[in-house]
Amino acid sequence: MTIIRLLSRPVRGALLAAALTLPLAPLASRADETVDPADWTEVLAKAKGQTVYFHAWGGEPRINAYIAWAGEQLQQRHGITVEQVKVDDTANVVARIVAEKAAGQESGGAVDLVWINGENFVSLKKAGLLMSPGWATKLPNWPLVDVENKPAVVTDFTEPTDGQESPWGMAKLVFMHDTATLAEPPKTLDALAEHVKANPGRFTYPQPPNFHGSTFLKQVLATTIADRAKLSRPVDPASFEANVAPLFAYLDALHPNMWRQGRAFPQNQPALRQLLADGEIDIAFTFNPAGASAAIAAGELPETVRTFVLDGGTIGNAHFLAIPFNANAKAGALVLADFLLSPEAQARKQDPAIWGDPTVLAVERLEAAERERFAALDLGIATLSPEELGPVIEEPHASWMVELERAWTARYASQ
C-alpha cells in the first residue's frame, strides 16, 4: 500500500511554510476525550480489533521488516492489526491530514500513526492537527525514556514536543567509506571539497527534499554560517540570502566535480549507499550510526566499509511517532507507540542485523534482564563508539529546512 499523492510539491511546500507561521493553538477532537493513555486497561480494551494505519517511510526493506514484526506482536498480544502505509515523503502525509481538516473530517482519518520529525511535526503541531498534548508522557513505557541525557527526545528541531509525539530512535549523521579504495577519508568540509576536486565524480548526495540530502545541506550550513546561533531561531527572510550565501558558494564549487557533474542526484539514502557498494563513489552517509554495519550484515556493502564523522561534530536528532487529531484508531496507535518504546522492541531495533537504530531508553535504568538484551548486542564492525561519534550539532529550527529546500530547488533542480 502506498500513500495517495494529494498535492503537488510546490503546494505542499506552501502549506508547510504557512503552517510554520500559524499561532500555536492545538485542537482536540471528540475522540481525544475518550482515549486517555493514563487508563491503560481501557486503552487496551478499545484497541482490540482495531486496524492501525501506520504511515512510515518505506524505502528501507530492513525497516519495513521490523515494522512487520511489530505488527505481528500486536496481533498476537492485543488483537491489533498494523498496516504499514509505505511513504516516500512525509510531507505527503501532512498534506493529507491538512486536506481532511479542510474537508471537515474531524474523526475517521486515514492516518492513525505517522513516523515524523522536523518541519513536518512543527507544521502539524502549529496547525493544531495532532492528538491533544501529553499523550506520549502517559505511555506505560515513558518512564524508561532517557530525557536527562538525550534531550532531543522532547525537543524536535528546537520545537518542544509537549508530549504530542513519542520518541522512537536516535540519529546522528555519519559518513561511510570503503577502506579498500579510500584509506584516509576527508574529515572536514574543506578537505571533502579538495578530495572531490582531485577525484571528480566520486561524491554525491541525495536530492533535496529527501531527508538525507537536506541533512547534508544543514551540515554545510551549520559549518559555514557566520553565526550558528541564528539556526536555533526561525528564519529571518531579510537575512536569509546572506546567511546561506557561504553554503551555496560551497555547493557551486562542489557540484561540477560531483557524480554526474551535479546535474543528477540519487533519490534517497539506499540509492546513495548502492553507489558506494558499486564502487561509483568514495563516500556516502547515513543518519544511522550503525547503518553501515547493518548494510554489511545484510550483504549490501563490502566488509571493508567503515564510518567516520567530521571534525567539530555532525547533525544529530531524534525521530518520533505522532497521532493525528482525527485518527480512526487512536487506542491502537497508542498501544503500538508504547510497544515500540518497550525494551524488547528498542533492543531489537538497535541490533544492526535487524535495523541498527539507536535506542531512546536509559538502558542503565532497565531491569537486569532488559539491560542484558542491550549488552548482548554486537553493534557491528563499522559502528563508532559513543566517544568516537563526537559532538552533536543540533538541528536548526524547522523553518530553515523549508527555506533551504526551496532555495536549493530554485537554484539547482532545473539544471
Separation CA 254–CA 160 (nearest Å): 36
CB half-sphere exposure, 210, CA atoms < 13 A: 19
The helix (H) or strand (E) run that includes residue 160 is: strand 159-160
The per-residue pLDDT for 393 is 93
- Which set of grid coordinates corresponds to residue 198? 582531485
Topology adopted by domain 9-168+318-381: D-Maltodextrin-Binding Protein; domain 2 (3.40.190)
Which pLDDT value is given to residue 339? 98
Whether 134 contacts 163, CB under 8 Å: yes
**372-400 tens-digit pLDDT:** 999 999 999 999 987 898 889 999 999 99
d(CA 398, CA 388): 28
Instruction: Tell me what the mean pLDDT of segment 333-346 comes to.
Output: 98
CATH 3.40.190.10 fits 174-316+392-412, yes or no: yes
β-bridge partners, 322: 114, 165
Residues in contact with 123: Cβ distance below 8 Å, sequence separation at least 6, in sequence order: 15, 16, 19, 20, 94, 398
Say what the pLDDT of residue 345 is: 98
Amino acid at 355: W
pLDDT tens for 12-52 read: 454 444 444 333 333 333 444 479 999 999 999 999 999 99
Strands (E), 9-109: 51-57, 81-87
Give residue for cell 523549508. Answer: 402
Q: Where do you find CATH 3.40.190.10 in the chain?
A: 9-168+318-381, 174-316+392-412
Reference 37, options 137, 125, 146, 162; nearest CA is 137
- Residue 386 pLDDT: 79
pLDDT at 415: 65
Residue 329: is its pLDDT beyond 50? yes
User: How far, CA to CA in Å, does 12 sit from each of 7, 374, 410?
Assistant: 6, 40, 16
| Residue from 142, 144, 61, 109 nearest 321 by CA | 142
How much is the pLDDT for 124? 97
Rounded-to-integer distance, Cα 170 and Cα 358, Å: 5
Q: What is the pLDDT of residues 138-159, one digit of tens each?
A: 999 999 999 998 999 999 988 9
Torsion of CA 63, 273, 262, 120, to 10 degrees: 20
Give the least confident one: 18-22, 60-64, 134-138.
18-22
The Cβ-side half-sphere exposure at 31, using a 13 Å CA radius, reads: 21
- Report CA-CA distances (Å) from 345 to 54, 56, 69, 102, 148: 16, 17, 10, 36, 21
pTM of the model: 0.82
How does residue 10 score in pLDDT terms, banded at 50, 70 and 90? very low
Q: Please report the pLDDT score of residue 226 as a whole number.
A: 95
**Cβ burial, residue 97 (10 Å; 0-12/13-18/19+):** buried
Residue 359 has which C-alpha cell? 535506542
pLDDT band at 309 (very low <50, low <70, confident <90, very high): very high
Cell of 13: 511546500
Q: What is the mean pLDDT of the chain?
A: 91
* Structural contact between residues 96 and 87, judged by C-beta atoms closer than 8 angstroms: no
Supply the pLDDT for residue 1. 31
CB 151 within 8 A of CB 107: no
Q: How far apart are CA 222 and CA 228, in angstroms?
A: 6
Cβ contacts of 76 within 8 Å, gap of 6 or more: none
Q: By percentage, how much of the chain surpasses pLDDT 90?
A: 85
Confidence label for 276 from pLDDT (cuts 50, 70 and 90): very high
What pLDDT score does 248 carry? 98
The better pLDDT of the pair 318, 5 is held by 318
